Amino acid sequence: MNYWEFRRLIKEKNIPSVYLFVGEEKFLMEDALQALRNRLKGASYHAFFGEDITWKEIMPFLETSSLFGVQMVVIRHAQNLKEPSDKDRISLLFKKLTNTFIVFMANAEEEKTKKNYLLKLVPPQGIVEFSKLKSDGIRRWLNEKIKEFGKEIDQDSLYFLTVSWGENLALLYRELEKVVYYVGDKKEITLEDVKATASPREVAFFTFLDAIQKRDVYTALWGLDTLWNEGMFPMVILEIIIKQFRQLLRVHTLKNEGYSEEEIAKKLDLHPFVVRKTIWALSNYTAAELLEFYMLLRQLDMEFKSTAKDERILLERFLIRLGTNLAG
């Protein structure tokens, strides 16, 4: 079961009593835990770490569950919980739980999680895997959070948020909270609102990408200047540009092969809005220019790694070249 299936599951009348959370996306794991706590509103809550507790100490929660009200027991770092000798008894108690809900949270960074005995001890219907979300999953998750705040958001703002913080859900959620508090009672979140709460570095990053697509040299140079002053490494800036041109080339190729916007979005794991924006940007470049600029970037990458030339000057020269018609 994945995160989305778990969210659907806990809306049902009868839900499992025992869960094992595994996977690398820790923020989603915490999000799911909070959703379960909300579902079990009013339950007494008990939290432990696997390295600090034994099965002997856990057993009373399993054996006397019917004597108390609803209770929720969470074992963090479950990969450190020593294997019990009486698994059959524990398995039987798991099946008999009525008002006790127990969650084992395993640290996915631990290699032994893959061989964790809990994978066999916990019933299959309670095992939830939290994998890193792909771009469509990130947008879906973000849209759900926006709805939970009672807000609406336009596509430009959604794109800004996911491009700037989509690699880290915790940071993405923090930025969303900042915007929500900033807009107050206003229902719709606009790009101006997002930029107003973002750091100069994130605004410059978004503006920089947009300027490259538009071949707006002056804005791109301003973005470079801001990113540089904010401490972004030259190699990171170069990778941003390379990634942008790689995306332009891929969309151009698929579009020429007859793929629709929807098909391109699915094939490249991009939001349809991003695909439309990229297709629009293609009108600023010929196929030959895209390829030549990409080859120039690969050459620039080699110069970064093999020479002592000033990296900022190399980047500025490339951006100035963007404003030049290569065919001319």
Helices H, strands E: what count in the chain? 16, 7
Query: pLDDT in tens for each of the 328 residues of the chain?
Result: 999 999 999 898 889 999 999 988 888 999 999 899 999 888 888 888 888 888 888 888 888 765 668 889 999 888 888 888 888 888 888 888 888 899 999 875 554 445 678 888 888 999 999 988 888 889 889 999 999 999 999 888 888 888 888 888 888 898 899 899 888 889 999 989 998 888 877 888 888 888 888 888 888 888 888 888 888 888 888 888 998 899 999 999 999 999 998 899 888 888 787 888 899 889 888 888 898 899 999 988 888 888 777 888 888 888 888 877 544 4
Asked if residue 297 belongs to a domain, the reply is yes
Of the residues 97, 113, 130, the one at which a domain ends: 130
Token output for 257 = 């092969």
Rounded-to-integer distance, Cα 17 and Cα 194, Å: 41
**Is residue 218 within a helix (H) or strand (E), and if so which, with residue range?**
helix 217-229
User: Do 229 and 291 belong together in one domain?
Assistant: yes
Same domain (yes/no): 8, 119: yes
Q: Total domain count for the chain?
A: 3
Same domain, 289 and 248: yes
Structure tokens belonging to residue 245: 């041109």
- Backbone angles phi and psi of 227, in degrees to 5: -60, -40
| Edge-to-edge order in the sheet of strand 71-76 | 44-49, 71-76, 100-105, 18-23, 127-130
Q: Using CA atoms of 203, 205, 207, 209 in order, give the dihedral in degrees to the nearest 10.
A: -160
Does residue 327 fall inside a structural domain? no
- Which residues form the domain of 65? 3-130
